[in-house]
Amino acid sequence: MCRVHQNKWKFTHISIVHCLSLFPKCCATRKLRNILGPMIVVGLFVDSEAVKKVITTCSSTGLEQLEYAELILKQVQIPNAFLYNSVIRGWEQSKVSSRALGLFKSMIFNGISPDKFTFPFVLKACVGVGILTEGVKIHCRILKSPLSLDLFVQASTLAMYAKCGELEMARLTFDFMPHKSLVCWNTIIDGYVKHGYMNAALELFNLMPERDVFSWNVMIDGHAKCGQIENARQLFNEMSERDGVTWNIMIDGYAKSGNMNYARKLFDISPFKDIVTWGIMVNGYAISDQICVAHNLFEKTPCKCPVAWNCLINGYAKCNDMIAACKLFESMPCPNAKSWNIMLDSYVKCGEMTLANQVFHSMPNKDVVSWNILIDGHSREGEMNIARELFDSMPYKDVISWNAILGGYKQNGQFNEVLKLFVQMQVLEETPDCSTLAVLLSGIADLGLFFHGRQVHAFVCRKHYLLDSTIGVALIDMYSKCGYVDKSMQVFDTITTKGVDHWNAMLSGLASHGCGNLAVSMFADMELSMLEPDNVTFLSILKACSHAGLVSYGYKYFLLMWKKYGITPKVQHYGCMVDLLSRSGNLEEAVELVNNMPVRANDVVWRSLLAASRTHESIEVAELAAWNLIELVPKDSCAYILLANIYGYKGQFGSSQNMWKIMNERGVLKNTACSFIEMQRELHEFTAGDISHPQIMETLLVLNSMIEGLSTYISEIDQ
């Protein structure tokens, strides 16, 4: 081809590409088809400038065009880093991070060296899909290249670790940076704040050589969200310059803490009042049960945006005034998806599933949240067939959808379906989150399926899930309930950053296995770790003292919880103390405690007292506990049977027969006892007196062999 024709084609191509950039996105795909054909025919894919312009254009005009961009990139004989960067950036900015990472791997496979622009894009993509392991691999590649000293690349690595919650690596990256920009300071502080490490954030904030408004806003927002509103106010007062975000953070902080008086004072003097500010105030009054004030403020709002409408509708719904919420919703000019979902969620929480289904089918546009709400509603009502039909017909599922249906099966006792669905999740390559695995482990713990629990633990380790989250709590609980408290302790010891829930799970496991002294020691370690125990912590330690008969320690912790930590004992705590006193033979003190409780004793308290009275042969206490228990739970056979047995044991056979007669007259049926045994990785249920199980004979033979072995062992010890 002569030079004249070459210039002609190049000019024509450049003109077309320039025109393509002027077309709206809806027309871009059709125009691309008209352009790419001639390009292939005349061989313009060998022209690097032409390819560069087409790929750059395609990478910034939408998802469908990105497919074309990647297709064109594969046709280029000698691609370079710029072309790969353009498409990788396009996928990352379009929130399709997995495609960005896939293209990066292809880039490495084809021998193209990443540059200082490549790494920031792929590190952002790692955050987008939440795959920390890929980010670590990319960081290792960076450290082996000259780009490890590039400030832009270092800042991107820091942001990746901070946003993924790997704050130890984020801090190491930050500390080794020779030049720390203001953006880097803000990034590490924001990471600490978002993951609840306010002390570390404050330490760095005080060391900052300079601060901007963003730095102050991050700290104020962190204190406000942690409930430290006075600390937030102190920083707010120290600021020399505030923007609208600063005022909104403080107003929202006071509103969410329930202090609407201070929120209103700040609102009145704020120089910046946008639609967010008005929405915060309307929502604050609504959630603090001042719905009339919220409505009056809503009427004064200069611009009634959807946010304000939704806050007021949600407020009426939370007050259980669905008539007012419905009227407000119907008068809303343009309800958005959030408005419809509020109505749907409100009906679901009220148990009005018929109305919820009507709203769902009336919705002009259903998003994934709408489907999730309805699935969760039917699951709560025990209608798992309907919930499963909805789940299967969803056009798009997110991890919350999977969690909703898994949680529904678990709540309704259909654990086999939980296992099947989790396997299906893996087959479809859906990534479970911490909540998914917590639901799975909780079901395994309830049934004592140790083998399945170990499999899930192996999966957690293989996929590098952090045990600092709810997964660590669920693993500790699972091993404890399966009878392996030593393995619970091993998991507990491997967790670097332990929260209150981790300590509570471990203390609860020790309590259930009668390890009272070890629980006492662990409680002391918890106090030394500077973590404040909560009411669940004290419930666990009191149970541990009760099971181990540690009366003095039980009294000590019971007084400690309200004297030192200001935690008001609940009926469950009193129940533990009654159980502790009853087990140790102090029945009179236990009865006195029950009579002086500031709250009414529940069935657990009376049941503990009744069981202890049988052990210590006290008919008076047994009668007191049994008749109170019958009053609370009239259809529970436990009270009738225990009291009848106590009468019989003391020789009062007439009273014993009378209790059985009363039980029969009231139509109370004896609860059928059953047990679960795991054999060869399968769970078997046995009911008392039932010999219909297909493996009953094999089980009885094994059981008799165990009993004989124990008898032999005991006789040897006695000798």
Q: What is the pLDDT of residues 237-285, one digit of tens each?
A: 999 888 889 999 999 999 888 889 999 999 989 888 888 888 888 888 8
In a domain, 504, yes or no: no
Given 637, 652, 671, which residue is the final one in a domain? Answer: 671
Would you say residue 562 lies in a domain?
no
Residues 641 and 709 in one domain: no
- Same domain? For 638 and 700 the reply is no
Residue 716 lies in a domain: yes
State whether 628 and 595 are in the same domain.
Answer: yes
Between 61-70, 567-576, 624-633, the lowest mean confidence (pLDDT) is in 61-70
Find tokens 């001042």 and name the residue.
290
**If you average pLDDT over every residue of the chain, what do you get?**
81
Residue where a domain terminates, one of 653, 671, 689: 671
516 with 548: CB under 8 angstroms? Answer: yes
The secondary structure of residue 422, as a DSSP letter, is H
Does residue 56 surpass a pLDDT of 80?
no
- Looking at the fold, whether 642 and 682 belong to one and the same domain comes out as no
Q: Does 575 lie in the same domain as 613?
A: yes
Domain presence at residue 114: no
The tens digit of pLDDT for each residue in 520-559 reads: 999 999 988 878 888 899 999 988 988 888 888 888 888 8
Domain co-membership, 574 together with 653: yes
667 and 683 housed in the same domain: no
Q: What is the mean pLDDT of residues 202-209?
A: 91
Higher pLDDT pick, 226 / 688 = 226
Q: Are residues 664 and 695 in the same domain?
A: no
Q: What is the pLDDT of residue 28?
A: 46
With 50 as the cut, is the pLDDT of residue 40 above it? yes
Query: Nearest-CA neighbor of 411 among 450, 363, 378, 434?
Result: 378
Q: Residue range 11-35: average pLDDT?
A: 48
Query: In angstroms, rounded to a whole number, what is the distance separating the alpha carbons of residues 256 and 285?
Result: 10
One-letter identity of residue 408: G
Measured CA to CA, the distance from residue 207 to residue 4 in angstroms comes to 65
Q: Is 700 a domain residue?
A: yes
Residues 583 and 657 both lie in one domain: yes
Backbone angles phi, psi at 684, to 5 degrees: -120, 140
Structure tokens at 114: 């990443």
Q: Give Cα 613 to chain centroid, integer Å.
A: 43
From CA 495, how far away is CA 428, in angstroms rounded? 30
616 within domain boundaries? yes
pTM metric for this prediction: 0.64
pLDDT of residue 5: 40
The pLDDT confidence band at residue 62, using thresholds 50, 70 and 90, is: low
Which residues constitute the domain of residue 582?
570-671
Q: Is 673 helix (H, G, I), strand (E, B) or coil?
A: coil
653 lies in the same domain as 623: yes
Residue 685 has what pLDDT? Answer: 65
Q: Is residue 639 domain-shared with residue 707, that is, in the same domain?
A: no
The answer to whether the CB of 73 falls within 8 A of the CB of 87 is yes
Closest C-alpha among 539, 544, 474, 536 to residue 500: 536
In a 3-state reduction of DSSP, which class is residue 677? strand
Residue 167 in any domain: the answer is no
Rounded percentage of the chain residues whose pLDDT exceeds 70: 86
**584 shares a domain with 595:** yes
State the DSSP string of 584-630. Answer: TT-HHHHHHHHHT-SS---HHHHHHHHHHHHHTT-HHHHHHHHHHHH
Residue-wise pLDDT tens digits, 591-649: 888 888 777 777 777 877 777 777 766 777 777 777 877 777 777 777 777 777 777 77
CA dihedral 203, 205, 209, 210 (to 10 degrees): -170
The CATH number of residue 613's host domain is 1.25.40.10
Is 143 part of a structural domain of the chain?
no
Is 224:250 a contact under the CB 8 Å cutoff? Answer: yes
Q: Domains in the chain: how many in total?
A: 2
